[in-house]
Amino acid sequence: MNYLKSILLFTALVTLLGSCRDTSDPQDRDELSYLHQTWKHSDEEDTEGRLIYRNADYKFPTTKDRQTFTFTENDVQVSVIKNNKLTQYKGSYTVVMNGNSVKELTINYTEAGQRIPTVLRYEVLILAKDALILKSL
Q: What is the pLDDT of residue 63?
A: 73
- Structural contact between residues 87 and 68, judged by C-beta atoms closer than 8 angstroms: no
Q: What is the pLDDT of residue 29?
A: 62
Q: Kindly state whether residue 35 falls inside one of the protein's structural domains.
A: yes
Helix (H/G/I), strand (E/B), else coil: 91: strand
What's 103's domain CATH number? 2.40.128
Q: Kindly state whether residue 16 falls inside one of the protein's structural domains.
A: no
- Structural contact between residues 124 and 53, judged by C-beta atoms closer than 8 angstroms: no
The amino acid present at 111, given as its one-letter code, is: E
Q: Kindly state whether residue 112 falls inside one of the protein's structural domains.
A: yes
Tell me: the pLDDT tens digits for 92-110? Answer: 999 999 999 999 999 999 9
Q: What is the pLDDT of residue 112?
A: 86
Q: Kindly state whether residue 55 falls inside one of the protein's structural domains.
A: yes
Q: Kindly state whether residue 5 falls inside one of the protein's structural domains.
A: no
Q: Kindly state whether residue 6 falls inside one of the protein's structural domains.
A: no
Q: What is the pLDDT of residue 101?
A: 94
Residue-wise DSSP of 110-131 = --TT-SSPEEEEEEEEEE-SSE
Average pLDDT over residues 67-90: 92
pTM for this predicted structure = 0.76
CB proximity list for 71: less than 8 A, separation 6 or greater: 35, 36, 37, 38, 39, 93
pLDDT at 67 over 80: yes
**Number of domains forming the structure of the chain:** 1
- Structural contact between residues 118 and 110, judged by C-beta atoms closer than 8 angstroms: yes
Q: Structural domain of residue 128, as residue ranges?
A: 27-136
Tell me: the pLDDT tens digits for 6-60? Answer: 444 344 333 433 433 343 444 446 899 999 999 999 999 999 999 999 998 999 8
Q: Kindly state whether residue 123 falls inside one of the protein's structural domains.
A: yes
Cα(63)–Cα(56) distance, integer angstroms? 12
